[in-house]
Structure 1
Amino acid sequence: MSDATFAVVGAGAVGGYYAARLAHAGFDVALLARGAHLEAIRSRGLWVWSPLGDLVVHPRVSADAAGIGPADVVLYAVKTYDNATALPLLGPLLGPDTLVVTLQNGVSSAADVGTVVGVDRVLAGPTYIATALKAPGLIQQTGTHRRIVFGEIPDTVGPALRARPSAEPSPRVLALAELLRRADIQAEPVADARVPLWEKFVYLAPFAAVTGAARQPAGVVWSTPALRATLDAAFAETEAVARAEGIAVAPDVLDRVRGYMDALPAGTRSSLLIDLQAGKRIELDALAGDVVRRGAALGVPTPVMATLASTLTPYIGGSSR
């Protein structure tokens, strides 16, 4: 995998950033893009403004997956509400040994991607990064985090990988982590990606739901007693679902989440709130909606998350302000 080729599906603020880092490190990178973003990359390259140093790269870019062809590694970074149109694009990108790494929010993406590409191809994990698409072809990074924690998903991989002892990351995860590090990406390989996925989910699904329902950033939510109590209850409900799922999240995960909220800049908005205020579609189904569905299936009550999800349902398709 030393000369691996990469394709990126979802070349926006997150996928585009990692594509730029990989291309800057000399890897062969191809992006699926469309509209003004596609034309800007074709004509001027892909630009990143960052505290780590600005850069511009000229990766291959196309609106047609067939025009890109198979890659060794596919980074899948589209918003979850775009899966219906984006998942079918993966087929032409697959070679005999292609790995697909999903960086989507939520905890269901690996299974969703696996239904299309085959479960044995899929790696997954949360990413921690603050980027925004400032203009077509231009990504701005705030802060310096560029972290991907990823690994196998034991419940979705095939029998050969399920039989492997899970104490250490698999060889293919370790090999890919080394490639990402060559591109100055903070790659953290893990044996079981479900744990970091759910530990982020315990925070993200409630945070997105409460900030979205309240139309307020982190500082207002965390300093308003009633909103803080609502968010804390939502954290606890989501943790309870994780434990009922059999996920070994850290014993102190709620303390960690509260500490994170204490340190979060007051103006921080969830991506759901940003999209909601812009009249765009929101990732409700993969976040609060998934907590509620999983809780119902497991007999775990989630009344706070259910109320938040129902409150936000009229805005799921965007356009309402």
Structure 2
Amino acid sequence: MKVAVVGAGAIGAYVGAALHRGGADVHLIARGAHLAAMQENGVQVLSPRGDFTARVHATDDPASIGPVDYVFLGLKANSYAACGPLVHPLLGGDTAVVAAQNGIPWWYFHGLAGPYEGRRIESVDPGGSVSEVLPPERAVGCVVYAATQLQGPGVVQHLEGTRFSIGEPDTTDSSRCEAFSEAMQAGGLKCPVEADIRNDIWIKLLGNIAFNPLSALSRATMAQICRHQDTRALVATMMRETLAVAEAVGCRPDISVERRLAGAERVGDHKTSTLQDLESGKPMELDVLLAAVVELAALTRTPVPKLCAIHAVTDLLAQTVRSAA
């Protein structure tokens, strides 16, 4: 199996190192000091499950790799529309794209029987710009439950979790999902093939849609948001509104709001990725987390007043940050 990881940051390099350890032919695409370190020393993984080094081929030139069986996307979703030059040289006739993104994916209604089948979600696929680069029929859904961070160039700190749930957008069984799952398991990761990956998407989104924007607005950690009585109540309301939207588009994730809140509080004084992006001057990944759900709420005529209010304020924040930059 030949796999290219586009965006070999903390998650991408971790997955690439694990696949390489399991025997796959892996190629990492990165840049800068991180690329130079991986080329010289391989990917060094520091993990409570055991440290290891994977001497994986790393490059900034996807054309030197050629077509692969799988492209694993480790990029932020707001980079997808511009990733054509990185991805297109890797695509063969049957290449699958495993998109490890948070939030609502661009392929969400692809192959989904019902009144919205094939519908484009404008906030995550504006004008079809993502679908043009990443055709939905190539997509394999992926929800990441692992936490990693770059400790330094070429050094990945694995914090917790090894689960990467995958599934076909049309909910069918497929040989490409089974093969990828087996390769991930051979590398020491959990990779269940879900009958409907959308359930996992909404379960993870339930936390992201509340904590990520609120952390950016308040500069607070997840535990601080949970311990503050009024913001905890706001999170619960945003989660309930999100579940209503999920049900309106035909998905009923089996998770309670209180259980999701308790799990977030156990994470402790952790800064969300959105707050980290804000503090480091990077674009915030809120379109797929919040704007998409507000769009789906409007589509299904589902009242979401708290989500709309938080979306308005965070959208203004994003505009202000862009103007200042």
Superposition TM-score, scaled by structure 2 size: 0.87
How far apart in 2 are the matches of 1:198 and 1:80?
16
| Aligned with 1:150 (options 166, 170, 184) | 166
Aligned to 2:96: 99
How far apart in 2 are the matches of 1:122 and 1:142?
28
How far apart in 2 are the matches of 1:37 and 1:116?
26
Q: CA contact under 8 A between 1:114 and 1:122: conserved in structure 2?
A: no
Once the two structures are overlaid, the 10-residue window that deviates more, 192-201 or 85-94, is 85-94
How far apart in 2 are the matches of 1:81 and 1:64?
21
Aligned to 1:137: 154
Q: CA contact under 8 A between 1:206 and 1:238: conserved in structure 2?
A: no
How far apart in 1 are the matches of 2:317 and 2:86?
27
Determine what percentage of the aligned residue pairs are the same residue: 33
Structure 2 alignment gaps of length 5 or more: 109-124
| Aligned with 2:289 (options 287, 290, 297) | 287
Please give the secondary structure, in 2, of the residue aligned with 1:133: strand
The answer to whether structure 1 residue 110 and structure 2 residue 127 are counterparts is no
| Aligned with 2:306 (options 297, 304, 307) | 304
How far apart in 2 are the matches of 1:58 and 1:32?
14
How far apart in 2 are the matches of 1:105 and 1:274?
15
Aligned to 1:71: 68
Aligned to 1:182: 186
How far apart in 2 are the matches of 1:122 and 1:78?
14
Structure 1 alignment gaps of length 5 or more: 155-165
Amino acid at match of 1:312: T
Please give the secondary structure, in 1, of the residue aligned with 2:98: strand
Aligned to 1:126: 143
| Aligned with 1:200 (options 204, 209, 213) | 204
Give the alignment of 1:80-99 within 5 angstroms: 80-99=77-96
Give the alignment of 1:210-229 within 5 angstroms: 210-229=214-233
Q: Deviations over 1:271-309 (max 9, x none)?
A: 111222223221111111112122122211222122222
Amino acid at match of 2:153: P
Q: Deviations over 1:148-187 (max 9, x none)?
A: 1110112xxxxxxxxxxx5x73333222211110010111
Structure with more contact order per residue of length (Cα contacts < 8 Å, sep ≥ 6): 2
Aligned to 2:9: 12
Superposition TM-score, scaled by structure 1 size: 0.88
Please give the secondary structure, in 1, of the residue aligned with 2:10: coil
Please give the secondary structure, in 2, of the residue aligned with 1:72: strand
Aligned to 1:62: 59
Please give the secondary structure, in 1, of the residue aligned with 2:204: helix
Displacement of 1:314: 4.2
Please give the secondary structure, in 2, of the residue aligned with 1:56: strand
